[in-house]
Amino acid sequence: MQQSKSTKINGEFQKFIDSDNKTGLCLEETLKFFEIRRIFGKFEAVKQGGIHVTLILTALLVMLFYNARNIHSYFSRQFGKVSGIRGSKNPYYDLLGNEYICWRAILYLFAKRYLNLVGQIRESTVQIRALIFDDSPLEKRGKKIEGVSKVHDHVTGNFIFGYKILVCGYWDGSNFIPVDFSLHRERGKELDKARGKRNKARRKVRKARSAYQEHKARHNKSRTKLNELRKEKVNGGIPNIERLEKYVTRSKKKLSKLRKNMKAAEADLEKKVKLVKEKQKTAPLYGLPVSTYRKQFKKERHQDSPGFQRKQEADQSKVKIVIDMIRRAISKGLVFEYVLFDSWFFSKEILCCIESFRSRGIKLIAMLKMGKTLYRDCLDGQEKQAAALRKKYRKKVKRSRRFNAWYIKVAVWYGSHRVNLFFVKIGNGGKWKCLVTNDLDLSFNKLMEIYHIRWSIEVFFKDAKQYLQLGKCQCNNFDSQIAAATLSMMQYIMLLLYKQMHYGQSLGSIFDLLGRQAQEENVTRYLLELFWEIVNKIGKLLKVDCMELFEEIIRDNQRADEILKLLGPVLEQKHVAQTAQTNTMCCKSTK
């Protein structure tokens, strides 16, 4: 299923994945808390015989933690016998490629079961809950994989062969839990633009030819009539032909002009046809030559199957998919106060969708592009771009000592919706960014605190790709790609529960250190503020943008490890001091 190169990088998950086989057995015990028979048992009908679906999915979930990188190595190294599962690898690959298994429903059931278990362990406190969206490229080696295309990686600025995975995650106040996703391919714009210009040139040619032919018919008719009148004049008639002669002269000039326009349109069409042929070679559809695209794996699916719906999503707009995911999350019973976006997803359609759920208390916070979009100022009613609004209100800049930031708050109308724009500059070397929210009562410090939660999805991408083989599946079947990504997310959720049960901490934060959460401050917020303070000082020293530096640290594994080694002693001293303070508070409360 998942074939990949093994790279040894120490990290938070490495001690689980590269440890002995006892970890795999422990995680099998952890699976029992998820009541997997009740979750997977709903799909037993898709197999008519042989190994049960529950046993197959259990093996697929735990094989990574037996240090088995794919199904073949899992059986060749005898781990199947250790877990009591025997047989060949074929049923496992067949199940992954089954179009009738609803992997989206399995992931939601798994995530909701985790939330239920955590709710029983953790004391209920008032915390911010949010739905987070972001996408990331998944690189593939095989061009014959179904639906693969050339996609743009906006981090490196390069194009790679693979998919774009759009992930919807749920922040429950302490942890990021992936609950939904979709795989997308990029069609490519250059060839479509060239074809659009060619089609426009064809319409011009048809219009010019039609105008030329119609006027030529009228001109020939007038000339015939003029010749007849001239014959009558020679035979002794006295017809008035001067007006008709003038008309024929003007008509001849117009006919010549229309002929030139027709020839110019035909020449322009030839250029556009050549441009299309060039783009088919240099920038083909989906980034693949026609011969390669025809060789891609293709599978006919029943229109009512979940696999058919997931395949259709690959060519749909991400904005539409995001709106569907928000509505699906609400229908599944997830409760959240905010929806967090990067600048790539904010649009009028998404804002209208979130406004429709205003009665549920759902608000939006998103990064905004400083582009050509117009916003109507609430004070004077003028429509201006974001950069012009920042320049207009530059004298109203304020300072936030907590985040070492300067900000400007501007009240505007975006379409028919009232929103607030926050122009933010962090540190001396930072660039002006723009955040937008429809929560009109939100302060700047609270806005930044909530938006920092969005970084948790970046950490998820880093961990899932590095340790859980997200995007490493090389199966040609698109259904198998969906299944492999779902299993990686379920393994991530398993590790969240496993770490809490055995180490007392989760991936996003350390909670319930002494069982007295009501008397200790939020450790997650403390660590985040501490790390942000360090990044801010580095950015100020180097005179670079702090938010861009933060992204580089999270996404670049090598740089992150080097920086953490340098800052290790400082973080350890801070953590020891914080732990001692917490113990003192707990002892006082006990007395």
Reported as a single tens digit per residue, the pLDDT across 231-254 is 776 555 555 678 888 888 899 999
Indicate the pLDDT class of residue 269, thresholds 50, 70 and 90: very high
- Domain membership flag for residue 148: no
Q: Which amino acid is at 195?
A: R
Max CA distance (Å), the chain: 135
Q: Of 282, 317, 352, which residue constitutes the final position of a domain?
A: 282
Last residue of a domain, one of 241, 264, 282: 282
Tokens describing residue 282:
């240099």
pLDDT at 23 (0 to 100): 54
Instruction: Please say whether the beta carbons of 284 and 290 come within 8 A.
Output: yes
Q: Are 21 and 97 in contact (CB under 8 A)?
A: no
Residue 331 has pLDDT above 70, yes or no: yes
**For 522-565, what is each residue's pLDDT tens digit?**
444 555 566 667 777 777 676 666 666 666 666 655 555 565 55
* C-alpha distance from residue 207 to each of 49, 203, 265, 270, 530 (Å): 65, 6, 9, 16, 68
Question: pLDDT digit string (tens) for 89-129?
Answer: 788 888 889 999 999 999 999 999 999 888 877 666 668 99
CA pseudo-torsion sign 474, 480, 483, 485: positive
Tell me: pLDDT of 3 over 70.
no
202 compared with 544, residue with greater pLDDT: 202
DSSP letter at 142?
Answer: -
Q: Determine, yes or no, domain membership for 442.
A: no
Task: Confirm if 181 and 168 have CB atoms less than 8 A apart.
Answer: yes
Whether the CB-CB separation of 102 and 40 falls below 8 Å is answered with no
Instruction: Say what the pLDDT of residue 546 is.
Output: 64
Tell me whether residue 537 is in a domain.
yes
User: Do the strands 159-171 and 398-400 form a parallel or antiparallel pair, or are they unpaired?
Assistant: unpaired
List, in order, residues 6 or more apart from 185 with CB less than 8 Å away: 147, 148, 149, 151, 163, 164, 286, 314, 315
Whole-number pLDDT of residue 487: 93
At 342-367, the pLDDT tens digits run: 888 889 999 999 999 988 999 999 99
Residue 398 pLDDT grade (very low, low, confident, very high; cuts 50, 70, 90): very high
Q: Quote the tokens at residue 266.
A: 């035909």
pLDDT surpassing 80 at residue 402: yes
In 429-502 the beta strands, taken as DSSP E runs, fall at 433-437
Could you tell me the residue range of the domain that residue 212 belongs to?
190-282
Is a pLDDT exceeding 90 seen at residue 88? no
Residues of the chain above pLDDT 90, percent: 43
**β-pair partners for 168:** 133, 180
Can you give the pLDDT at residue 308? Answer: 95
Contact 134, 457 (CB under 8 A): yes
Give the Cα separation of 377 and 453 in Å (integer): 29
Least confident of 187-191, 269-273, 331-335, 489-493: 187-191
The DSSP secondary-structure symbol of 47 reads -
Helix (H) or strand (E) segment spanning residue 423: strand 417-426
pLDDT at position 293, please? 87
Using the 3D structure, point to which of 239, 259, 282 is the last residue of a domain: 282
Q: Quick one: tokens of 405?
A: 């930031």
Q: Count of H helices and E strands in the chain? A: 21, 12
pLDDT of 67 reads 63
pLDDT of residue 559: 59
More confident of the two residues 71 and 97 = 97
pLDDT the model gives residue 16: 46
Is residue 130 in a domain?
A: no
pLDDT band with cut points at 50, 70 and 90 for residue 202: very high
Residue 128 near residue 338 (C-beta atoms within 8 A): yes
pLDDT of 49 higher than 90: no
Query: Does the pLDDT at position 282 exceed 70?
Result: yes
Q: Which pLDDT score is estimated for 239? A: 57
pLDDT band at 57 (very low <50, low <70, confident <90, very high): confident
pLDDT tier at 70 (50, 70, 90 boundaries)? low
Q: Is residue 578 part of a domain?
A: yes
Q: Is the pLDDT of residue 53 over 50?
A: yes
> Is residue 187 pLDDT above 90, yes or no?
no
Average pLDDT, the chain: 80
pLDDT of 511:
30
Q: Decide: residue 496, CB within 10 A, 0-12 exposed, 13-18 middle, 19+ buried.
A: buried
Q: What pLDDT, on a 0 to 100 scale, did the predictor assign at position 129?
A: 93
Report residue 1's pLDDT band, with 50, 70 and 90 as the boundaries.
Answer: very low
- The pLDDT tens digits of the residues spanning 504-528 come to 544 433 333 323 333 333 444 555 5
Q: What is the mean pLDDT of residues 165-187?
A: 93
pLDDT at 390: 94
Per-residue pLDDT, 246: 87
DSSP letters, 429-453, are SPPPEEEEES-TT--HHHHHHHHGG
Q: Answer yes or no: are the C-beta atoms of 412 and 379 closer than 8 Å.
A: no
SS (H, E, C) 175-237: CEEEEEEEEECCCCCHHHHHHHHHHHHHHHHHHHHHHHHHHHHHHHHHHHHHHHHHHHHHCCC
pLDDT at 127: 84
Is pLDDT larger for residue 83 or for residue 331? 331
Q: How far apart are CA 169 and CA 197, in angstroms?
A: 40
Neighbours of 225 (CB within 10 A): 14
- Residue 228: pLDDT above 80? yes
Q: With b meaning 16 or more CB within 10 Å and e meaning fewer, what string describes 377-395?
A: beeeeeebebeebbebbee
What's the domain count of the chain?
A: 4
Give the whole-angstrom CA distance, residue 462 versus residue 202: 49
Given a cut of 80, is residue 159 above it in pLDDT?
yes
pLDDT for the residue 9: 35
pLDDT in tens, 287-326: 888 888 888 999 999 999 999 999 999 999 999 999 999 9
**Residue 490 to residue 177: CA distance in whole angstroms:** 9
Least confident interval from 168-182, 527-541, 573-587: 573-587
Residue 430: pLDDT band with limits 50, 70, 90: confident
